[in-house]
A = this chain, B = another copy of it.
Amino acid sequence: MIQIYTGNGKGKTTAALGLALRAVGHGFKVIMIQFMKGKINYGELESAKLLPNFTIEQYGRPDFVNPENPDKIDIDLAKQALKRSKEVIKSQKFDMVILDEINVAISFGLINVDEVIDIIKQTPSKTELILTGRNAHPELEKYADLISEVREIKHHFQKGVSARKGIEY
């Protein structure tokens, strides 16, 4: 099954983390491959260590990627993440594979949607594949079994509060 969490609201990566938490509770093996994230999200990294059979791998830099003109290093890291995603799917070692922020990596042009569609096509039906990130490519819609769009109705950042440890990261 293929699940996509997209939209401009808060809760996409968090929902994927919740899916991971629930799955490992049933004894499933889960991997989250994070595109465009590096040395951040300490909260989830620390928690993953506490849980059996839950691995998080980060492919990215701590800095934001420039969507207009991404650095070569950002493209290289996204391609590495994509390569790793293919390996992981092919290995069939995981019951759930989460490709976190992959939608953004596509929309920023770091990777091509066709390569992601290839991964989806290679995913065995017993594997749960989760794609997160805003601006999900419309081409992906027909391959997804579930799409949830998280819309921001109200956000305290609008009131000038910055990201908080343990909550946003």
A50 to chain B, nearest CB (A): 6
Number of identical protomers = 2
The answer for the CA separation of A23 and B1 in the assembled complex, in Å, is 28
Q: Are B7 and A13 in contact (CB under 8 A)?
A: no
- Say if the beta carbon of A112 comes within 8 Å of chain B: no
A90 to chain B, nearest CB (A): 21
Q: Are B22 and A166 in contact (CB under 8 A)?
A: yes
Closest-by-CB residue of B relative to A148 is B9
Interchain Cβ contacts under 8 Å between A and B, 9 examples: A9-B149, A10-B148, A14-B16, A14-B18, A14-B22, A25-B43, A25-B48, A96-B167, A144-B154
Contacts A22-B41, A26-B165, A150-B150 given; 18 further ones with Cβ under 8 A?
Answer: A1-B156, A11-B11, A11-B148, A14-B14, A14-B15, A14-B19, A14-B22, A15-B15, A18-B18, A20-B21, A22-B44, A25-B48, A25-B166, A47-B51, A50-B51, A51-B51, A146-B155, A147-B155
Nearest 5 A/B pairs, CB to CB: A17-B18, A14-B18, A25-B47, A25-B46, A22-B43
